[in-house]
Amino acid sequence: MEPQMIWDVPVVDGLDRQRSLVVTVSDGRVAVLPPPGEGFYLPPQSIWQLHEAIRSAALVAAGMAPVEPVRTHSAVH
């Protein structure tokens, strides 16, 4: 069984609450899971975190990266 890879990216919802956008790999595919609700805002400091999370997940999905820690950023609540 392949270990589940999860990256958290901090975002802010429409009510200005801190949330977490999740990037994960499942069955060789990259999934980007938004926080509950209709949408979110990506703060400028989170742009590179999202970029790196998607890049890392794509490398893992393609079998081109070593296994990393389960979460690369603490969850935002």
* Over residues 27-56, mean pLDDT: 85
Q: What is the number of other CB atoms lying within 10 angstroms of the CB of residue 61?
A: 18
* Over residues 47-73, mean pLDDT: 78
Task: Answer yes or no: is pLDDT of 40 > 50.
Answer: yes
DSSP code, position 17: -
Asked if 11 and 77 count as a contact pair (C-beta separation under 8 A), the reply is no
Percent above pLDDT 70 for the chain: 77
Asked if 48 and 34 count as a contact pair (C-beta separation under 8 A), the reply is no
Whether the model clears a pTM of 0.75, i.e. scores above it, the answer is no
- Name the burial class of residue 65, with classes exposed (0-12), middle (13-18) and buried (19+) by CB atoms within 10 angstroms of its CB: middle
Structure tokens at 35: 């926080």
The domain segmentation of the chain, as residue ranges, is 5-61
